[in-house]
Structure 1
Amino acid sequence: MVMKGPDSIESAPVVTGIAAFDGRKPRRWSILRLVAAVLSIAIAAFVGGFGWFASHVSHLRTPADPAKADAIIVLTGGQSRLDAALGLLASGKGERLLISGVHPSATRRQIQVATGGDKRLFSCCVDIDRAALDTIGNAEESAKWVENHAYGSVILVTNNYHMPRSLLEMGRLLHGARLEPYPVVNADLGDGSWLTKPEALRVMFTEYNKYLLALARGVVPVKPTPGGIALAEIPILRR
């Protein structure tokens, strides 16, 4: 017999409420597990990508005898880059050299003296870009220069860790010119020693994040702020 008086207990609504609660809890845990799995995959991909990037750039080598090109472009950021570019120009590997990213206050004479470059070579065959503030700016100004001179092939000079991002940004704008990478290697880290050197690890990690941002710009049009790695060996120059 079922009691329906004032003291009776209606059990059905209580059971229904518990059942609803128990149904929500597994769904919530499923969502959390899914989020955790996605985050784990993303972190593993990021770490694995960094390992690949660091290994790749640390194994880049400076070509012993690069093929001749129409012109040479060097992205400022250290005297070793400039020395390499001027050496290529002097040896006839390119008809003309663009130094991209020079500080506005630096004169041609100051750069020539600071690098020890040949005065006659500087006068005839070196152009200076003072407008670029970062790698994106380097690519924009270089594209204008290449188009104005109708060059079909260019040797690109920069440090090994900076080369992947430079090629990516340059390749987006220099559509009609073939890019020949000339990575400058300041320290041989091909044995994996970048893992035990804090400064090298910091440079690699910073550049890896900038490279990912450059890749993302292909999907989302964002522009990183100027700054980055302070490795300039000549105070009057900047990258």
Structure 2
Amino acid sequence: MVYPRKNARWHQKSWVVRLLIVGVLVVAAWGAGLFRFAALLPTEIDDQTTRTDAIIVLTGGSERLNTGLDLLKDNWAGKLFVSGVYQGVDVNTLLQMFRHNPADLERRIGIGTATSTIGNALETADWIVKEGFTSLRLVTSAYHMPRSLLEFRNVMPGVKLVPHPVFAERVKQDRWWAWPGTASLITGEYNKFLLAWLRHFGKQLFAKTGVR
């Protein structure tokens, strides 16, 4: 004979065990995904020959903008768009800050003031529509490139994107888990990438099922 109280306790313990198993599986999947994400981060610039209509720089470090300005000076594209500039900063000020001659480059540069990666993609899309461009060289940090490409490809599916990763000295991609600063940076970026991917996946799923 099974007593009601013992039966209830057994079911309670059973649910706890199931939840623990699910939790362990979720953490294991997240951890495996993190290492996969880190392993797939770019370690070099794959395409160093293709000229594009424009160069896009996503702000977040001096190396990114310097790289974009150098590419523009070397005529890798006709124009440069810098997305994520502080409010109130104009092109002339930006060039002076980075010790470039405003007279040579000012007319070839546009700026935007987005504060997020999806904002970068949206304001860049608006800019290239006005300019009539169909190909971009995207300049951002290597660890930020996967999420940037995800957002840009979603917003502008018909545009050719050439990744141009920047490798900051402070980010140690080799054996990243052994460097606390880099480990925190890559883990945080991985979580942001997952959220962005889930957002896009959810939109596609709802679009297919007709749910709004």
Q: Secondary structure at the match of 1:61?
A: coil
CA drift of 1:118 comes to 3.3
- Is the aligned partner of 1:204 residue 2:186? yes
- Give the partner amino acid of 1:185: F
Alignment of 1:159 onto 2:155: no
Return 5+ residue gaps in structure 1 as ranges: 1-14, 222-239
Question: How many residue pairs end up in the alignment?
Answer: 202
Residue identity (%): 32
Q: What amino acid maps onto 2:165 in structure 1?
A: P
Does the aligned pair in 2 maintain the 1:146–1:174 contact within 8 Å? no
2:70 matched residue in structure 1: 87
Residue 190 of structure 1, CA deviation: 4.2
- What is the deviation of 1:209? 1.3
Q: How does 1:19-30 map to 2 (within 5 A)?
A: 19-30=3-14
Contact 1:62-1:185 at 8 Å conserved across structures: no
Q: Specify the alignment match of 2:99 in structure 1.
A: 116
**What displacement does 1:26 show?**
3.3
Encode CA deviations 1:32-78: one digit per residue, 9 max, x unaligned: 22211111110001111111222322x52134724111111100111
Partner of 1:106: 89
**Aligned match of 1:128:** 111
1: distance between equivalents of 2:136 and 2:118? Answer: 17
The two structures have a TM-score, normalised by structure 1, of 0.77
Change (3 A) 1:86 1:171: same
Query: Which residue of 39, 61, 77 maps to 2:60?
Result: 77
Q: d(CA) in 2 for partners of 1:145 and 1:177?
A: 13
Structure with greater helix share of residues: 2
Partner Cα separation in structure 2 for residue 143 and residue 52 of structure 1? 30
Q: 1:66/1:186 Cα in 2 relative to 1: closer, same or farther (>3 Å)?
A: farther
Q: How far, CA to CA, are the matches of 2:167 and 2:3 in structure 1?
A: 66
Q: State which of 30, 33, 42 in structure 2 corresponds to 1:46.
A: 30
Q: Select which of 182, 187, 198 maps to 1:216.
A: 198
Structure 2 gaps, min length 5: 204-212
Taking a change above 3 Å as real, the CA distance of residues 106 and 185 of structure 1, as seen in their structure-2 partners, is same
Q: Secondary structure at the residue paired with 1:175?
A: coil
2:17 matched residue in structure 1: 33
Query: What SS does structure 2 have at the residue aligned with 1:74?
Result: strand
In 2: Cα distance, 1:83 partner to 1:218 partner: 32
Letter in 2 for 1:27: H
Deviation at 1:220, TM superposition (A): 4.9
Instruction: Name the TM-score, length of structure 2 as normaliser.
Output: 0.87
SS state at 2:31 partner = helix
| Distance in 2, Cα, partners of 1:127 & 1:169 | 20
3-state secondary structure, aligned to 1:67: coil
SS of aligned partner of 1:217: helix
Largest Rg, 1 or 2: 1
- Whether the aligned pair in 2 keeps the contact of 1:99 and 1:129 (CA below 8 Å) is yes
In structure 1, the residue corresponding to 2:60 is in which secondary structure?
coil
Partner Cα distance (1:67, 1:23) in 2: 69
Q: Report deviation, 1:82.
A: 0.7
